[in-house]
Amino acid sequence: MSLADENADTPKQRQEERARIELEGPMLRTASGTREAVTLHDLSSKGFRTDWPRQLVPGDEVWLKLPGREEMPAKVAWELDRMIGCRFDVALHSAVFASIINRTR
């Protein structure tokens, strides 16, 4: 287990459980306009974890685009070896979160 995994699962830092998923294809866009397809490794109503090929730092703005959804603004909460954890600016509604999770299973 990497440090990123350990930190992502630390109860003191986690406000809610994240669903472990391997969802390929969502698009992530940075403030500089860079846009790439990513794989989401986990998701909660408040954030997500994914790989990103370039350096981002906590506080950087990003936008996550899931199929059939509008872009969702988020901020990088942590970065470790090109793995990032991001917090949505506005939490996902529970029905939206459940719909996304149900489509991945």
For the chain, the three-class secondary structure string (H helix, E strand, C coil) is: CCHHHHHHCCCCCCCCCCEEEEEEEEEEEECCCCEEEEEEEEECCCEEEEECCCCCCCCCEEEEECCCCCCEEEEEEEEECCEEEEEECCCCCHHHHHHHHHHHC
Residue-by-residue pLDDT tens, the chain, 105 positions: 334 444 444 444 556 678 899 999 999 999 999 999 999 999 999 999 999 998 899 999 999 999 889 999 999 999 999 899 999 999 999 998 998 888 776
pTM comes to 0.81
CATH number, span 3-104: 2.40.10.220
